[in-house]
A = this chain, B = another copy of it.
């Protein structure tokens, strides 16, 4: 029998990995246009680390339940909902609330899972896939024979980019934080460098660069673009210090983001984009169309590790420490 309660990880204030509180919460019944999902897996994203450290300006007021993406089984449907029925396997982008054993969602955020992939793989799709899709195809306008650089190559997003570029005859370069992850990337066919190697190299002529580090790395990466090249900026990962909150470093990163003069852009024949998928969710028609274009079945699995929902603290420490090579998930099944 259905119960109108769930468990959820609440973030009561900014803090270290121990700050979360697991709470029982009351849940409403889904209304018209909504469904209720029994969550099996929740994705953990780098933005969640920023959020937990109090460094994410678009976070809701405390206390709140973080979490951008889930997969699971439809547990009940609101009045008039015809596209989903109880028992359907689904995944969804959630725009907060994903660290929860049940969640109510408007149907436009939810997609069916095809038979080709597993529930855990599906939980890793929404954030990485929508981000990669916008970077590569909406904003970046990638074409064959181009040279692409991704500055977070070994993470879930980097792997999603790799997957989406397969078959496009694109030369993929990736930056990462250690020799070990570099080797791992090279084995997968990516031309990899550490961030330090890239800074001191002369590698240039990139048609598209995905910048997630932010801060002064943006100016460096911009300088390595080819004519007609474009850089898509998606974050400020450089603001994070593994293991502790370092407000000085965070502030330094934010303040060292460059400003671009239009006349310089003209002289250089270059372009600069900003992408914030969370804010893009204010345009349901855009997100829905993209979810349908992306689909799950064209995507490789990019799961690195799955933690029990009880071990959120460990999962956050793992991602914050930049140990991950792909998506990190919470498993809500008992």
What is A's interface to B at a CB cutoff of 8 Å?
134, 138-139, 141, 214, 218, 227-228, 230, 232-235, 254, 257-276, 279-280, 282-283, 286
Contacts and interface: CB of A to CB of B under 8 A. Distances in A.
Q: Which of A259, A266, A272, A279 has the most CB of B within 10 A?
A: A266
A252 to B, nearest CB: 14
A281 B272 CA distance: 21
B139 A280 contact: no
Nearest to A233: B262
Contacts of A228: 134, 138-139, 280, 286
Contacts of A276: 266-267, 269
A138 B207 CA distance: 11
Contacts of A257: 261-263
B269 A230 contact: no
Nearest to A262: B257
B280 A269 contact: yes
A270 to B, nearest CB: 6
Contact of A260 (B214, B227, B262): B262
A272 B269 contact: no
Central interface residue in A214, A258, A263, by most chain B CB within 10 Å: A263
B218 A262 contact: yes
Contacts of A272: 260, 262, 265, 271-273
A237 to B, nearest CB: 13
A310 B122 CA distance: 71
Nearest to A211: B262
A162 B50 CA distance: 45
23 contacts: A139-B230, A218-B262, A227-B279, A227-B286, A230-B273, A233-B265, A235-B266, A257-B263, A258-B262, A259-B260, A259-B261, A262-B274, A263-B274, A264-B274, A266-B275, A266-B276, A267-B274, A267-B276, A269-B279, A269-B280, A271-B273, A272-B272, A272-B273
Nearest to A141: B141
The 7 closest A-B pairs by CB, nearest first: A265-B274, A266-B274, A271-B273, A141-B141, A259-B259, A257-B262, A266-B276
A56 B235 CA distance: 37
A15 B8 CA distance: 73
Contact of A268 (B139, B271, B274): B274
Contacts of A270: 273-274
Indicate the member of A228, A235, A270 with the most B CB atoms within 10 Å.
A228
A292 to B, nearest CB: 15
A261 to B, nearest CB: 5
Contacts of A273: 230, 265, 270-272
A262 B276 CA distance: 11
A121 B276 CA distance: 45
A230 B273 CA distance: 8
Given A269-B280, A271-B273, 11 more contacts: A139-B228, A139-B230, A230-B271, A233-B266, A257-B262, A259-B261, A260-B272, A265-B274, A266-B276, A267-B276, A269-B276
